[in-house]
Amino acid sequence: MPARIIGTLIGALVLTAALFFYLLGDDPSQFVNFSTWGTATEIASFQRLIDHYNATRSPRHRVRLSHGEQIQYTERLIVQAAAGNLPDVMHLDRKDLPLFVSRGMCEDLTPYMERDSSFHITDYLPALLPGCKVGTQFYAVPHNFSTLVLYYNKSHFDAEGIAYPDSTWTWDDLLRAARRLTRRDAQGTIARYGCMMTLAVQTLIAQNDGRVLNATLDSCIVASPGAAGAVQFIVDLSEKYGVSWSMLSQNIQWDDMFAGGRLSMIANGRWAAPWYMRTMQPGSIDAAPLPRGKLRRGGAVNHIMAVASQSTKKDEAWQFVKYLVSEEGQRMLNDDGANIPALRSLVYSDAFLRHHTTPTMNNSVFLEELPHSVVWPFEQGIYVTHFVLQTQLELAIRRVLLGQMTAMQSLRIMQDNVNGVIQSHRTAPDAVPFFGSVLSYVCGACAAGLFLFLVRRRGVRLPGRG
């Protein structure tokens, strides 16, 4: 072989090796990768936890954070699973667990719990544990949760002489109070709205004895009188009674409206509490249970930690999960006040009940609502994701708001569309496994391209070429 070709090959190999080791420095396999989502504040909170873990535990592989937007977070992880590139530890919403387990994405953690004498699943709130299981096996551990509550401006209630909401309130009580609290200016423009319940519309369906999916979560049954009544109620709040703004309105920031005194009541979760307390007059805000419909139902978010079945560092991943749900990790989580820890001993202590960010708020209402709550926003099963259900429900409500059809007619369209998605996933062929890695493909392509470039640059003729 001519010396020039040999030199070209050696040069290509050296440069490829340098590229490989450069890319390897950021190779996910060098870390325990932890995936989550959230606001900038929530991401910063998790980063503090990770920094503390890396500094105090000195793990063999340091933990590294990856995060994205909550919207389509489920879909992103499914794509990563198909590529064989799941993060080692996944922060999930419990609604995703059955879907992920059915796809083989989550490690069964039951054996880890059974052989680890330092871990006791009974230390956590019992109401959260079913959301960590599929069948009889634990595929996750509880980390934090929130129930939906009705935040209200006490100053507005006091000025109108209205008694504060409590657990006996119904939809009728909500509407009566909202009509009295709504205020218009001299030109007839609404200056203060009475309530905003949009975030709880899925829970209102459950309160009115409706369901989005059936009990086995394999069929959409939302076209029912209960669900239609709940949708009509949420539409009537704005279009008929004028106590809320229309869901057709764009760029309305309801949190800003409430904090700025232009809204008297809002359904929201614990994540909003610290910000409300920081921006509103001291003592002017409190929380009560959601008003009940035919049934007393609340909505609960249950966030859990799972280990990816694809992980090559499962024991290390388990140690990090244990840290996240340990008393130390849970106290750090509790500090910002935006999340409610899953650890029973902590959540029933003054560390939460008299939390420093919400010292004058009825913090216990978040715990009292948990036994009465259903999965929020949707219990999705293994055939359809939250993104599909949320999109279809928003479209259904929009058709009613636009006067295009009745609530029942619109929900029938939603039901047909969702069942079409479910059917397509029932009959979809198994995914073809992804072999190799992005790193190996990049290096291979670069090696080939570099070799050809050097050959052309030096004017070398390949053997067999004229």
- Confirm whether 6 is domain-assigned: no
153: number of Cβ within 10 Å: 24
Looking at the structure of the chain, the number of domains it has is 2
Single out the residue in 348, 370, 392 at which a domain terminates. Answer: 370
> Would 101 be classed as within a structural domain?
yes
Residue 269 maps to a domain: yes
Whole-number pLDDT of residue 29: 79
Same domain for 236 and 219, yes or no, is yes
Average predicted confidence (pLDDT) for the chain? 89
Same structural domain, 204 and 295:
yes
Q: Which domain holds residue 97?
A: 28-147+302-370
273 and 247: one domain? yes
Instruction: Examine residue 433 and state whether it is found in any structural domain, yes or no.
Output: no
- Check whether residue 212 and residue 316 sit in a common domain: no
156 in the same domain as 125: no
State residue 18's pLDDT score: 43
Residue 428's CB is within 10 A of a number of other CB atoms, namely: 9
Q: Does one domain contain both 308 and 295?
A: no
307, 397: one domain: no
* 449 belongs to a structural domain: no
Q: What are phi and psi of 372, to 5 degrees?
A: -100, 5
Domain check: are 114 and 143 in the same one?
yes
CATH number, residue 166: 3.40.190.10
Distances (CA, A) of 158 to 29, 281, 287, 365, 369: 59, 14, 15, 21, 25
- The pLDDT assigned to 457 comes to 55
Q: Do 174 and 99 share a domain, yes or no? A: no
Shared domain check, 403 and 275: yes
Is residue 11 a part of any domain in this protein?
Answer: no
Q: Tokens at residue 96, please?
A: 């995703």
Alpha carbon distance 125, 133 (integer Å):
14
Question: Rounded to whole angstroms, how far apart are CA atoms 69 and 36?
Answer: 9
pLDDT at 442: 52
Q: Do residues 199 and 318 lie in contact, with contact meaning Cβ atoms separated by under 8 Å?
A: no
Parts of the chain with a pLDDT under 70: 1-28, 70, 250-251, 428-466
- Flag whether 432 is in a domain: no
- Rounded to whole angstroms, the Cα distance separating 88 from 31 reads 9
pTM metric for this prediction:
0.85
Beta strands 133-134 and 137-138: pairing type? antiparallel
Q: Are residues 67 and 117 in the same domain?
A: yes
Dihedral sign, CA of 318, 324, 325, 328?
positive
Q: For the segment 409-432, what is each residue's pLDDT rounded down to a tens digit?
A: 999 999 999 999 999 998 866 544
The pLDDT of residue 77: 95
Residues 6+ apart with CB under 8 A from 294: 207, 208, 209, 226
The pLDDT value given to residue 464 = 47
Contact 258, 193 (CB under 8 A): no
Amino acid at 112: Y
d(CA 6, CA 20): 21
Last residue of a domain, one of 326, 347, 370: 370
- Kindly state whether residues 197 and 236 are assigned to the same domain: yes
Count CB-CB contacts under 10 A for residue 293.
22
Task: Confirm whether 454 is domain-assigned.
Answer: no
